[in-house]
Amino acid sequence: MLCYCATVPLCYNMLYDTFTHCGIIPATQVSFAGCSLLLVLVAVSYVLLQSRPVYLMDFALHKPPDSLKVTHQMCVEGSKECGAFNEQSLAFQEKILRKSGLGDETYLPAAITAKPTNICMQSAREEAMEVMFTTIEDLLKRTGVKPRDIDVLVVNCSLFNPTPSLSAMIVNHFKMRSNIISYNLAGMGCSAGLIAVDLARQVLQVMPSSRALVFSTENITQNWYFGNQRSMLIPNCLFRVGGAAVLLSNRRRDYWRSRYELKHVVRTHLGANDAAYGCVYQMEDEEKKLGVRLSKELMAVAGEALKVSALPDCLFLPRFLVAS
């Protein structure tokens, strides 16, 4: 728009002076032609510079098989039988489970519930493939979209990042196109689901008539903690098998079949703050057992992020996904 504002009046004045002074075209016709050219340029600028709408066509959530279902009592008994936890840690986990809000119909991967446990790379891959493939198949079936109709793929998993990547697994399994725009986000925590949606939205702004598949999950198998540090035991009580797939589109013709329209994404990064940076931290404990530490500052940091996100528009809550 700055280029148009600067050049259009200059060009128009030069044309006006040249044609009217030479008597080639009457001044009224030059004025009309100049106004028409200006209107065309403004219309083109509006079309090119306006943001493209992003629609959420549909979504799907992973539903594990009943064979992976665990109750609170099963979790407690499994923790006792594995022999990795002392009495204080067992009592702490049982207390957290009671207060977690989780019911008796959550799911754990087969490698964790097996006796003995089978913690290895292959088990983690099997968990990831089961969650990703079944959920995406369900989404594609609901929408009637074929895998080769997907233009953008964004996958998010914080703690499990094998080679080939999770996004490559999806491309290979569904035989997607070779020119698909693919991203694999890692190490960005639970909030990366929204980050993945925002990334897909930004890509769709520069790719007309396109569809984006966003998949978000977390992998439990290789991240189950078998130590006795309380701050690292909490994820054992909170994280379960799960995943979600979302199909986004900027095609105008998809408006009528979409559930929502993405209006605003507000992202706040508090990584410069030491408390925020360290509130979720993957590490080894004193016995060199790997796990994820959740600090006591986690809830305060989350509240601060929500407050900062709400300030720019003077809203009471940040805006993420608004119904069309």
Summarize pLDDT for 27-62 with one digit per residue, the tens.
565 466 666 676 766 665 545 555 789 999 999 999
For 178-209, how does the pLDDT look when each residue is reduced to its tens digit (9 = 90+)? 999 999 999 988 778 889 999 999 999 999 99
Q: Write down the CATH number for the domain with range 54-258.
A: 3.40.47.10
Q: Confidence class of residue 315 from pLDDT cuts 50, 70 and 90?
A: very low
Structural element, H or E, at residue 61? strand 54-61
Give the whole-angstrom CA distance, residue 216 versus residue 131. 10
Report the percentage of the chain scoring pLDDT > 90: 61
* Neighbour-count burial of 241, counting CB atoms closer than 10 A to its CB (0-12 exposed, 13-18 middle, 19+ buried): buried
DSSP assignment letter at 179: T
Q: Is the pLDDT of residue 15 over 60?
A: no
- The mean-pLDDT minimum among 12-21, 228-237, 243-252 falls in 12-21
Q: Confidence class of residue 8 from pLDDT cuts 50, 70 and 90?
A: very low
Considering the entire predicted model, what is its pTM? 0.80
Position 92 scores a pLDDT of 94
Give the whole-angstrom CA distance, residue 219 versus residue 59. 20
Decide: helix, strand or coil at residue 152: strand
Q: What angle do CA 137, 140, 142 make, to 5 degrees?
A: 110
Residues in the chain: 324
For 76-130, how does the pLDDT look when each residue is reduced to its tens digit (9 = 90+)? 999 999 889 999 999 999 999 998 888 889 999 999 999 889 999 999 999 999 9
* Neighbour-count burial of 54, counting CB atoms closer than 10 A to its CB (0-12 exposed, 13-18 middle, 19+ buried): buried
Strands 181-185 and 152-157: parallel
Give the whole-angstrom CA distance, residue 42 versus residue 1. 8
Position 3 scores a pLDDT of 43
* Neighbour-count burial of 128, counting CB atoms closer than 10 A to its CB (0-12 exposed, 13-18 middle, 19+ buried): buried
Give the whole-angstrom CA distance, residue 312 versus residue 300. 20
Report the largest interatomic distance among the alpha carbons of the chain, rounded to a whole angstrom.
101
Domain locations in the chain as residue ranges? 2-49, 54-258
Q: Give DSSP secondary structure letters for 266-317.
A: -----TTSHHHHTSEEEEE-TT--EEEEE-TTHHHHHHHHHHHHHTTTT-SS
Q: Is the pLDDT of residue 317 over 50?
A: no
Nearest to 216 by CA among 186, 239, 236: 186
Round the average pLDDT of the chain to a whole number and report it: 85
